[in-house]
């Protein structure tokens, strides 16, 4: 069954290869500097490397947008995204997996009555606007630098050609690596929690986790997409918007790769955090927007006369249409899968306004009069609960999110079996953390925050300190992992109490 559900992820990976990956080498192939086969081979190898080595970075922001909590739902989300990308690829428009998957997740949210985290959505959509602008600015600066360099060094026309070719290959490889690292979460992220793979050790010096094995499979699917279907989009990117010289192509690929790297590098993020600098959000950005932004940036720098605005308009419309198609297709497919094939496309999340929930919200300094009015009431999904809370007047979104997170029912029980699973194969939890968890053996929790509170009472290592962003980030990832591990899968509050 897992293999069947994974097929939609592989289809999405193929679409990513056919569309996004072509952005990396599109300008190089379009300007005839690199042969399609060379580009496809280089792109495939480095996408797989990027996915396996540093694929985990950008997945968390996407996870926050909407937590697809059933396998069949994940299958449809990935499938809808894949279909919408395929349609756009057939039309020859460069779109992005990020856009499609975000649209599909929102479609799932609508269908399942789950809340869409508008803060994360704003963050992601914000990067869709920022990304082309940043990319265009980087392209303009790089272009000026490259032109200055050429004028100073005065290379022979053939030396310049050879260096540009070499540069395109190197930067393309870097871009492919960044794309793999940034976008693999879109393809395989939803399957990580249900992966059946065990960690494997290669020659005793490198261990591949189950997620990395999944990312490898996803990477291979992307590579197949690059080889089989990316040529057309490469031509649109390389020649369609504006005729590019090889130097232009080099600048475009450099700007695109830099943007992807900025939004995918955990290393860069921790470096910025370590030095107290504002960090860049690790969001799966749209590689198409990065590349189109860079091409337009160079076109405008040259006076904008050669830009084919009509095509650019078509591409921009594609960016708007893709998430809408993905959301609509996802919603309709979920309906069919649920009602015709009787598959569980989501696990209902219910909400309970118990006295302890009200007390917890009060501790956070938020007015609890709304909650008191709803005391001891249970809501079947986020939409009805949200409606009940906002019935009389709107509540600030931050307060609303806190109320909903606190009231969410997520029954968990720490059993000997789940602890054993942790001790045997889970490398994400340290030995000390496992010891702390063992102290909570046989404890049950109805809400996520109850487990977090219980752990923070045991050791200060389990507390958020708001000073060390890296520690807080790691802790929230660990906790999210534990919530899944100890999940009893029963949403009936009567059966779980402490």
Partner 1 sequence: MAFTILKRGFDISKQIDEFLDKVSESGLIFQRGIHSYLQGKMESFKKRLEDIYEIEHQGDALRRNLEKQLYLQTLIPESRGDVLELLESLDALLDRFKGALWRFDIECPDFFPEIHDDFEELTLCVVNSVEAIVLSARAFFKNISAVNDHMHKVIHWESQSDIISTQLQRNIFSRKEMRLSHRMQLRDFVRHVDKIADRAEDVADKLGIYVIKRSL
What is the distance between the alpha carbons of residues 328 and 82, in angstroms, rounded to a whole number? 13
Query: Hey, what are 168's tokens?
Result: 């395109």
Asked if 35 and 163 touch (Cβ cutoff 8 Å), the reply is: no
Nearest to 192 by CA among 56, 81, 286: 56
Residue indicated by tokens 């540069």: 167
Residue 428: count other Cβ atoms within 10 Å of its Cβ: 14
Query: Smallest distance, Å, CB 161 to partner 1?
Result: 5
In degrees to the nearest 10, what's the CA dihedral of 433, 475, 498, 70?
Answer: -110
Query: Smallest distance, Å, CB 246 to partner 1?
Result: 6
Nearest to 116 by CA among 165, 173, 62, 158: 62
Query: Smallest distance, Å, CB 157 to partner 1?
Result: 5
Query: Smallest distance, Å, CB 115 to partner 1?
Result: 52
Query: Hey, what are 395's tokens?
Result: 């509540």
Residue indicated by tokens 């395929």: 86
User: Under DSSP, is residue 20 helix (H, G, I), strand (E, B) or coil?
Assistant: helix
Question: Nearer Cβ to partner 1, position 162 or 373?
Answer: 162
Q: Kindly list the residues in this chain that would bind partner 1 in the complex (CB under 8 A).
A: 31-33, 35, 147, 150-151, 154, 156-159, 161-163, 165-166, 169, 245-247
Query: Smallest distance, Å, CB 166 to partner 1?
Result: 5
Q: Say which residues have a Cβ less than 8 Å from residue 380's Cβ, sequence separation at least 6.
A: 113, 348, 350
Nearest to 147 by CA among 306, 307, 300, 302: 302
The end-to-end CA distance of the chain, in Å, is: 35
Query: Smallest distance, Å, CB 175 to partner 1?
Result: 18
Query: Smallest distance, Å, CB 159 to partner 1?
Result: 5
Question: Nearer Cβ to partner 1, position 98 or 164?
Answer: 164
Q: Say which residues have a Cβ less than 8 Å from residue 81's Cβ, sequence separation at least 6.
A: 12, 15, 97, 100, 101, 103, 104, 186, 326, 330
Asked if 123 and 52 touch (Cβ cutoff 8 Å), the reply is: no
Question: Nearer Cβ to partner 1, position 39 or 187?
Answer: 39
Query: Smallest distance, Å, CB 147 to partner 1?
Result: 5
């Amino acid at each position: 069954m897992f293999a069947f559900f994974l097929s939609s992820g592989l289809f999405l990976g193929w679409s990513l290869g056919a569309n996004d990956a072509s952005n990396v080498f599109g300008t190089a192939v379009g300007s005839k500097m690199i042969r399609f086969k060379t580009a496809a081979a280089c792109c495939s190898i480095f996408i797989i490397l990027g996915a396996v080595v540093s694929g985990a970075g950008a997945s968390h922001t996407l996870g926050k947008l909407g937590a697809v909590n059933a396998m069949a739902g994940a299958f449809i989300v990935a499938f809808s995204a894949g279909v919408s990308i395929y349609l756009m690829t057939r039309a020859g428009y460069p779109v992005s997996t990020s856009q499609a998957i975000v649209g599909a997740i929102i479609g799932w949210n609508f269908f399942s009555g789950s809340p869409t985290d508008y803060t994360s959505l704003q963050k992601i959509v914000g990067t869709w606007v920022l990304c082309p602008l940043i990319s265009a600015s980087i392209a303009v600066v790089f272009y000026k630098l490259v032109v200055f360099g050429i004028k100073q060094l005065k290379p022979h026309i053939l030396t310049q050609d050879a260096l540009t070719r070499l540069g395109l290959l190197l930067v393309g490889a870097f871009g492919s690596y960044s794309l793999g690292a940034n976008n693999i979460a879109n393809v395989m992220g939803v399957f990580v929690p249900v992966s059946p793979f065990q960690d494997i050790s290669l020659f005793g010096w490198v261990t591949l986790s189950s997620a990395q094995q999944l990312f490898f499979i996803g990477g291979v699917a992307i590579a197949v997409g690059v080889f089989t279907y990316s040529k057309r989009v490469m031509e649109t990117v390389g020649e369609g918007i504006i005729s590019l010289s090889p130097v232009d192509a080099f600048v475009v690929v450099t700007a695109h790769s830099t943007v992807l790297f900025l939004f995918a590098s955990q290393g860069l993020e921790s470096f910025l955090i370590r030095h107290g600098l504002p960090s860049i959000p690790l969001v799966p950005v749209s590689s198409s927007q990065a590349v189109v932004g860079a091409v337009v940036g160079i076109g405008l720098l040259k006076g904008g006369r050669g830009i084919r605005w009509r095509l650019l308009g078509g591409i921009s419309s594609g960016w708007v249409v893709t998430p809408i198609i993905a959301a609509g297709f996802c919603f309709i497919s979920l309906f069919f899968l649920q009602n015709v094939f009787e598959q569980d496309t989501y696990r209902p999340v219910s909400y309970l306004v118990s006295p302890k929930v009200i007390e917890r919200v009060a501790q956070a300094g938020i007015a609890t009069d709304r909650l008191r009015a709803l005391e001891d009431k249970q809501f079947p999904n986020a939409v009805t609960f949200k409606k009940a809370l906002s019935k009389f007047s709107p509540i600030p979104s931050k307060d609303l999110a806190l109320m909903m997170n606190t009231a969410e029912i997520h029954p968990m029980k720490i059993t000997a079996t789940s602890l054993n699973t942790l001790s045997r194969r889970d490398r994400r939890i340290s030995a000390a953390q496992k010891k702390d968890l063992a102290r909570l053996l046989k404890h049950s929790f109805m809400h996520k925050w109850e487990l977090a509170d219980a752990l923070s009472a045991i050791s200060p290592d389990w507390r958020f300190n708001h000073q060390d962003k890296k520690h807080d980030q790691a802790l929230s990832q660990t906790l999210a992992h534990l919530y899944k591990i100890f999940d009893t899968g029963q949403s009936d509050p009567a059966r779980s109490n402490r």
